[in-house]
A and B are shown apart, each in its own frame.
Chain A
Amino acid sequence: MAINFLYPEYEIVRKESRCIACRACENQCAHGAHEFLADKGVMTCDESKCVNCHRCVCICPTRALKIVKSGNAYKQNANWGQRTVDELYRQADSGGVLLSSMGNPQNYPVYFDKILLNASQVTNPSIDPLREPMETRCALGAKPHRIERDKKGNIKNNLPPQLKLSMPILFSAMSYGSISYNAHESLARAAQELGIYYNTGEGGLHEDFYKYGKNTVVQVASGRFGVHSGYLNAGAAVEIKMGQGAKPGIGGHLPGTKIVGDIARTRMIPEGTDAISPAPHHDIYSIEDLRQLVYSLKEATDYKLPVIVKIAAVHNITAIASGIARSGADIIAIDGFRGGTGAAPTRIRDHVGIPIELALASVDKRLRDEGIRDNVSLVVGGSIRSSADIVKAVALGADAVYIASAALLALGCHLCRSCQTGKCNWGIATQIPQLTKRLNPDIGCKRLVNLLSAWKHEIQEMMGGMGINSIEALKGNRLMLRGIGLNERELAVLGIKHAGE
């Protein structure tokens, strides 16, 4: 047997004085890290199998378990870090491209954490959201440039189709296949209860979920999986996926082993075949081509639904967004480089794309400078982690935000970043029936509703503190933001002043 270069990254610590050998950890670990030794009557574990998903830690009724970082260390080296060396060993072992999942975990600056919010003192009163109305509703879609009147002088309704949200949040695209039926049901039910939207992703819409259509954004991606007239018209908006923040320039590949039963049917492809989404849309090589698809989809949906174009935040984002704003699209969704994924090549996830804060600020400014900001609404995603991130994003110019990783965390995800194994112990990123049943949509929906209700309260509190009583009045209000520890260039791109200025 070849030498194993890799020492387990985590250790499972079992407090023997608390373990009652109930074997719940063994039952719940799909990776087989725990085992009951019947002859000795004790539990044991193999930490080399542990992915650090914390399912056992959470399920243990006596809190006998915890996971700690393994103390094993290479000789210290500021250049060759532990992760770099481990990844090199892994590739020398396998000869393969490294795969990862969820968002970019590398230590790049998080600009949201370097921006501070304003509050009112003395000269402008703050507002108490518990006593006074505080509007968080917003509408996404193109806004008319001018008022039109009929012959009698009455105002004509020339408002293009809009998405109406109770708060500036949508669940972003995660396909049925990449996540489970129960995860989709949790998102759909929560979106309906909250008065917001969830997104089918590129895997089509399961027939059971057509009833949530009013709160659904249906996606058309490069693989065109599950797209048909009924699908397009089932949703409240259609999204063309051009790119994804976790893997700009890269397509998708759902292995044939996951294309089973309902997933094959929903995607409209034979069971067991790989679902390959090409990197580009093969019919789109220019803004003009994009315009054709935008209008094809509008034609197919009788001009009743807004069309979203989703792109990854890349270097040329402002020019691309400017083109999209002229393509007839109603909404531009931009996904930053920290956005999540069910599987992406590690190097792409960790090294391609730009931070959403910078992309958003640049795009909002460019569209305003060109006088086409009202052509589109801007939705941004790519690691929105809290209500404070949302308030900052809106003040930077976003109309709303997309959240996905945060929603999965509410459903139990512990960011172990092992989605690509297909053995998610929390029943989210898996299609194994024994695992998917672990996510009861009654509980999942409730937790999502709790999270977003809490965020809504927090958004109202922060707005009230700033003396603003409507989310629309906060939009693009960069005077409410100050940078901390940012250089001149960063402040210029963000279009904000430094704290103290």
Chain B
Amino acid sequence: MKRVYVNENWCLGCRLCEYHCAFAESRQKDMARALRGVKINPAIRIEANNGISFAVSCRHCKQPLCVKACITGALHITNGIITADKARCVGCYTCILSCPFGAISQNETGVIQKCELCTASHGSPACVKGCPNNALVYEERE
């Protein structure tokens, strides 16, 4: 299955992936209109320290701890992609606690949000398209 992979050698820490993620999630046509004056809450996050930076988003693990931990069945696997059913999420955050990568967060309404690879909305991940230095790639790996 194709996944988003990060190469920290090329990550500039510019955070454009975060903004492209938020823009994709907004489902609007113009980024300035969508994000101006907005404090974004993206599903991909840049971790940066000491000159090293890289983006962290859901790894779509083959045996995901978050899905195992979910008490309501809101998290499930569809064609390898771990998706969250926001209507079923009760906001217990057990998944946030159990994710070893810190890739799950809460959204403005209190339920969880995570990267679902933009498959439903845009076909392929917006963060990868928006990365200026190919530090993010969307590809098949073993």
Contact = CB atoms under 8 A, between A and B. Distances in A.
A216 interface: no
A81 interface: no
B15 A20 contact: no
A28 B14 contact: yes
A62 B35 CA distance: 10
Interface stretch (B66-74, B89-97, B116-124, B129-137): B129-137
A18 B36 CA distance: 7
B1 interface: no
Contacts of B132: 59
Contacts, number: 58
Contact of A27 (B9, B13, B38, B130): B13
B15 A23 contact: yes
Nearest to A64: B32
B32 A20 contact: yes
Contact of B19 (A18, A61, A437, A440): A61
Given A437-B10, A440-B10, A62 B32 contact: yes
Interface in A392-439: 433-434, 437-438
A316 to B, nearest CB: 47
A492 B61 CA distance: 74
B105 to A, nearest CB: 19
Contacts of A24: 14-16, 19
Nearest to A442: B134
Given A18-B32, A22-B19, A59-B16, A433 B38 contact: no
Nearest to B19: A22
A438 B133 contact: yes
Nearest to A27: B14
A37 interface: no
A493 interface: no
A181 to B, nearest CB: 12
A443 B133 contact: yes
Interface in B98-134: 130, 132-134
A61 B51 contact: no
A23 B132 CA distance: 15
A438 B20 contact: no
Contacts of A22: 15-16, 18-19, 35
Contacts of A62: 31-32, 35
A22 B18 CA distance: 9
Contact of B14 (A18, A20, A59): A59
A62 to B, nearest CB: 4
A440 B15 contact: no
A22 B31 CA distance: 11
| Most chain B CB inside 10 Å of its own CB: which residue of A18, A438, A440, A442 | A440
B65 interface: no
Interface in B23-62: 23, 31-32, 35-38, 51
Interface string A4-35: 00000000000001111011100110000000
Given A61-B20, A61-B130, A20 B12 contact: no
Contacts of B31: 20, 61-62
Contacts of B13: 27
Contacts of A440: 10, 133-135
Given A20-B36, A20-B38, A61-B31, A434 B51 contact: yes
B39 to A, nearest CB: 9
A440 B31 CA distance: 26
A472 B35 CA distance: 57
Contacts of A17: 32, 36
A18 B33 CA distance: 7
Give the residue among A22, A23, A24, A28 with the most B Cβ atoms within 10 A: A22
A-B interface, 7 closest residue pairs, ranked by CB to CB distance from nearest: A18-B32, A62-B32, A20-B35, A24-B14, A440-B10, A22-B19, A440-B133
Given A19-B36, A440-B10, 6 more contacts: A20-B32, A22-B16, A22-B18, A28-B14, A61-B16, A437-B12
Interface of B: 9-16, 18-20, 23, 31-32, 35-38, 51, 130, 132-135
